[in-house]
Amino acid sequence: MTDAGADPEASRAEVRDGFCRWMHDHVDDLAPFRRERPVSLEEQLAEQRPLQRLLFDAGWTRLGWPVAHGGLGGSRLARAVVIDELAAAGYAVPELLGNTDIVGSMLVRFAPEIATEHLGPAIAGDEVWCQGFSEPDAGSDLASLRTRAVEDGDHFRITGQKTWSSDGHLATGCVLLARTGPVDSGHRGLTMFWLDMSTPGVTTRPIACVDGRAEVAEIWLDGAVVGRDRVVGDVGGGWRAVMYLMQFERGAYAWQRQADLRARLEELLAQRAPTPSPAAPGILGDAFLRYYALRAKCRGTLAALDAGCELGPEISVDKVMLGLAEQSVADAARSLMWPPFVTDDGDDAALARRRWAYSRITTIYGGSAEVQRDLIAERLLGLPRGR
């Protein structure tokens, strides 16, 4: 291992051993991050920011990112090992690392200059990113979006509205999809932009979700000016960029989530209620099965992405499995913690209730489970439409 802590030339086994030794040597520094608390999203991100900086300074979360963009080089699988071991040791994996992986992977491919400028600060926790894709009148049907970007010399003026943008009200930067082609140009007339959220003409409003927290936001754009150098990829090439991003949102992100789900299951086994529901054993078994199936699937996906493969409709399988695993683990917590799940005001019960409520939307965000199943049926299984 290098003085920074992480070695991009190390094997995965060496990374695992080295990171575990590092955690042991820094147990006092890591102590504040041992458990997640039922706090607002703003408070959570603020509490996790020092952990992001600690991991960044030691190099662990820079593994697998190109040196030119602030990383250490090496394999993204090494970074996956770090996330896995961090969660297994009982620490809360910083929420922002997931979106940084998703968006950052696309920026490295389609906008390397923007990646060089912003990726390092995002990994360190100094920047918060969001995605401006879904719209009130289009939902997740990106080919129908109406947000308009009109060329004006070396700039574009963007007008429209986005919704359901995770962390949007807290974000410093946004990857925004807008229409630069004719109204009827569908997916062929879209362009991806990097938007500084402090740009005049950009306003946000948080949306309270069923878990009680403002997880997402609406974004309004009133003639916001974005330079041509902020185009991600090519003008008219937004669909290609967003499809590239989706394989990380529906695949690589699942690895971070499965690490957290395993930690939750182990916590449940250690702190079961005295009189759990009679259905608890079956529910817990189902949660473990769904967790292990997800882990096995997204491990292969992560290896394919690390090898440079561009994945197609098969990535929808990961997305469906992730939503089912999230909900199964949350259901297991509700069952095993019953009745304190509904009667206790302590942090454990409050956090379990919040996670259960949030799990209900995990089969909706990033492409609903129904849409993903249609893609699987039509494009993988060759079934006819409408069957």
Cis peptide before 339, with omega less than 30 degrees from 0?
A: yes
- Residue 311 tokens read as 């994945």
State pTM to two decimals: 0.93
Total Cβ atoms within 10 A of residue 40: 12
Q: State the Cα–Cα distance between residues 199 and 133, nearest whole angstrom.
A: 18
CB-neighbour burial class of residue 235 (10 A; exposed 0-12, middle 13-18, buried 19+): middle
> Which residues does 345 contact at the CB level (< 8 Å), separation at least 6?
none
Residue 103 inside a domain? The answer is: yes
Residue 62 inside a domain? The answer is: yes
Average model confidence (pLDDT) for the chain? 93
Residues 246 and 340 in one domain: yes
Residues 31 and 92 in one domain: yes
Per the CB < 8 A criterion, the answer to whether 70 and 123 are in contact is yes
User: From residue 385, how far is each of 183, 191, 312, 336, 379 by CA, in Å?
Assistant: 27, 29, 18, 41, 10
Domain's final residue, options 177, 207, 236: 236
Residue 1 inside a domain? The answer is: no
Per the CB < 8 A criterion, the answer to whether 70 and 116 are in contact is yes
Residues 204 and 298 in one domain: no
Q: What is the predicted pLDDT for the residue at 212?
A: 80
Domain's final residue, options 218, 236, 254: 236
Q: State the Cα–Cα distance between residues 103 and 86, nearest whole angstrom.
A: 22
State pLDDT tens for residues 256-292. Answer: 999 999 999 998 888 765 555 666 678 888 999 999 9
Residues 357 and 320 in one domain: yes
Total Cβ atoms within 10 A of residue 64: 22
Residue 156 inside a domain? The answer is: yes
Domain's final residue, options 188, 205, 236: 236
Per the CB < 8 A criterion, the answer to whether 186 and 223 are in contact is no
Per the CB < 8 A criterion, the answer to whether 340 and 349 are in contact is yes
Residue 66 inside a domain? The answer is: yes
The pLDDT-based confidence of 1 (bands split at 50, 70, 90) is: very low
Residues linked to residue 227 through DSSP beta bridges, in sequence order: 155
What percent of the chain lies above the pLDDT cut of 70? Answer: 96
Find the mean pLDDT for residues 19-48.
94
State pLDDT tens for residues 314-333. Answer: 999 999 999 999 999 999 99
